[in-house]
Structure 1
Amino acid sequence: MNEKLAELEVHMLGDFSVMYGEQPISFGKNTTTKAMKLLQILLYYGEQGIAREKLLSALYGRDELADAANNLRVTVHRLKKMIVEAGLPEAEYVNIKKGIYSWQAPMETEVDARVFAALYKEVEACEDAGHKEDLLKEVCRMYHGEFLPDLSGEEWVLIASIQYKKIYTQALKELCEILIARGDYEEALAFCDPACKLYPFDEWQSVKIECYIGLKRYREALKEYECTAKLFFEELGISPSEKLMKQFEEMSSQINDTKPRELQDIKNRLKEEDVPGGAYYCSIPSFRDSYRLVARMMERSGQSAYLMLCSVTDGKGRPMEKPEKLEIMMEEMQNSVQHCLRRGDSFTKYSASQYLILLIGTNKENCGMIFDRIRKYFAREHKSWAKNLEYFVSSVADVENLDSPIQFKDEQSAW
């Protein structure tokens, strides 16, 4: 029977759509009903299936688990009816065995997200340079955006979405390095342009600028920089990274120079140093030494310095209890602090859910503005994340006071 039926193609990267052969399948405009969520979960987990408890949590959450078992039976019945009404052949579609719910269709089913992940595993195992490049191109072409964006607030979707974005980011980075090293700047531009549109704050524009410089199209490179700088300032209230700033200086020099430097000289000078821009990340012991030095300097100079403690919570001021989500958020938190602060500021990971920041030459009012900037960048792709951040701030001079919200008293503490 499988040989006679067309393949069911499921797209989850960038949007959700289903094709049965040449026929698009519509399940209605509302993509957030319980039946639609169940459909997408079952399609994603495929024949491997998902455990009943995990499925109940994904569909109904902790607050609704009392009646969830009965609701799930009703939802499964509605889903089977909805599938057939959408134009697919009569079949069971939902298989339930030993507490595992799985997708069971009479036709072959292909889910782009699964193919995408499997393809990148081929990339990692591939030892032939030419074939690896072809695979990288295919991976980059497959990625059309966030995984199931209409369900981005769901935890299981969020975790999968970040994993797929990481794959895309790594694949595109590898591919651009190969193309630029070979001088294929036009092709690198073609692959990089979609990334700039999908993730305008991830600074893929830097790769585009490098390609424009390689092609000696300096004015286009300068225009790309100016548009990026404007975007960062208007949307996030921050300046572009050190790398982009260096590129700007080189471009300006190249455009105004009456005797242009050789291309290789320009490329050598544009290479990013090992030290990243933004705030300086260091270990707890190094941070402690910096803090002590700043405290001594303040006694003589009178310059102000503040400690800011940023915490990731569950959104209601309580500790985050989901380790996978916490790990993802803390990684993004580090990236946000690194990006939003100056090179003269330093920070460290203070606990599993906290970063400690040393801000020099600022005041308490500006500390609030700095936190708002960090939070805005942190939530740039997932707006709901803004409620997951909290902060305390204290002057370095006041840290030893008992009423300070940040205190580090002895060598036995984490500090």
Structure 2
Amino acid sequence: MPQEPESAETVCDEQTKEIEDRLLELYVKALYLYKGEFLAAYTGETWIAQEARRYHTMFEKIINEAAYILRKRKQFKGLEKLGVYAAKVDPFNEWEELIMEAMVETRRYEEAEELYTDVVDYYLRECGIYPSSKLLGILEKYSNQMNHAHEILENIQEGMNEQEETERGGYFCSYPVFRGIYQASIRIMKRTRVPVYLMLCTLEDEEDRQVQSETKINKYSRQLKKCVGESIRYSDIYTSYGKVQFLIMLIGLKREDCEIVKKRINRQFAKKNPRAAEKYHVNSIVCEL
């Protein structure tokens, strides 16, 4: 028996798929030709700067077109690979949202949560900036889409508890977690009137300037983190804010107690680094009793 002719809709779908296949293949080849900013060391030259902008605009357009096709086809592994490459060759332009989307769509929720934290810390640590509200909004949107399996309360609580007894001293957490605790503390303290102080600890050299040497920054930052953790109480919270700063939340202290904490951190740090100095700034978050 003769086969029935394919419908016009089926033929159209197949043609569209073939066109998209070819486009995606060309997009991917083009993307891997882009290795970063064009002649980055010479962007002071007008023509070089113009070409760099043109190439970057082309790169952005191709990324978005390729992402559209991959998203449409639910090819999320390809989307994640796309985001990883884009973030590598074009850092601090928020391509991490593609990776986050792929992880959420493939139900890798724990990895997605880790990525959210890592992205914020990376922007602060490497560039000294906080990700834009647009990127955070996108990341939080995907966070809200995460579906956890139904559990009884005891199991949920066990999963949230610290896995093992930590060393004595303050609780260190990533900046997004610290930010959430800070916002919750504001609400709680408005009702309880328990004083909370926010301390900013900044690494500076002996001439009150920001430390420039990467070697010294890495060394001092590790040591200062340890000194801060050992100098505050078990219930206090701290986080790194960029490469050379730490934020500390001190709960239920008096203002004069903050001075004691400052001296305690400074004394420990000075023993290890007599040539370095930290600068502190203390603010009351909500109230002083």
TM-score class, shorter: 0.3 to 0.5
Structure having greater relative contact order (Cα 8 Å, sep ≥ 6): 2
TM-score with structure 1 setting the length: 0.30
What is the TM-score of this pair, normalised by structure 2? 0.42
